[in-house]
């Protein structure tokens, strides 16, 4: 059994609730434990994961959040930089499933976040579990 950190960028409550529910369900179904840490936005997720990983309490992470395109270039910065930060941590060996949605509108976010539809929170948790399992293969 592993212990996972779910790090959520709490900006869109409705969508976050669904993403976190999907992630928790997938982790629990696989027999793993979890705890949730909340940060203000997607840009803070990689930093929070980095800080939490130093604690030694977590075996892997699930990044959760929603970035919806607006009228400015801010969307591209937030979407790209949060993803880049998560990928850098993953390449350093941290098992992280990226469940930060980058969508055009709320309808797309709803479909992707809903555990009864695309369940991207659950998919991110399953990705984190798979990366964790791969890392355990090195130790045997």
CB 105 within 8 A of CB 68: yes
Catalytic status, residue 74: yes
Determine if residue 98 is labeled as part of a ligand binding site: yes
Determine if residue 44 is labeled as part of a ligand binding site: yes
Determine if residue 11 is labeled as part of a ligand binding site: yes
Determine if residue 42 is labeled as part of a ligand binding site: yes
Distance between CA atoms of 29 and 23, rounded to whole angstroms? 10
Active-site choice (3, 32, 34, 74): 74
Determine if residue 67 is labeled as part of a ligand binding site: yes
Q: Which residues are annotated as a binding site for (2S)-2-hydroxy-3-oxobutyl phosphate?
A: 71-72, 112
Binding site per annotation, positions: 11, 42-44, 66-68, 71-72, 98, 112
* Catalytic residue IDs: 74
């Amino acid at each position: 059994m592993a212990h996972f950190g779910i790090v959520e960028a709490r900006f869109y409550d409705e969508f976050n609730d669904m993403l976190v529910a999907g992630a928790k369900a997938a982790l629990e179904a696989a027999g793993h434990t979890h705890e949730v840490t909340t940060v203000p936005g997607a840009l803070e997720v990689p930093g929070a994961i980095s800080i939490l990983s130093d604690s030694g309490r977590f075996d892997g992470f699930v990044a959760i959040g929603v970035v919806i395109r607006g009228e400015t270039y801010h969307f591209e910065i937030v979407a790209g930089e949060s993803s880049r930060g998560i990928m850098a941590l993953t390449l350093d060996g941290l098992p992280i499933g990226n469940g930060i949605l980058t969508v055009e509108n709320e309808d797309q976010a709803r479909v992707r976040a809903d555990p009864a539809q695309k369940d991207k929170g659950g998919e991110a948790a399953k990705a984190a579990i798979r990366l964790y399992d791969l890392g355990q293969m090195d130790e045997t």
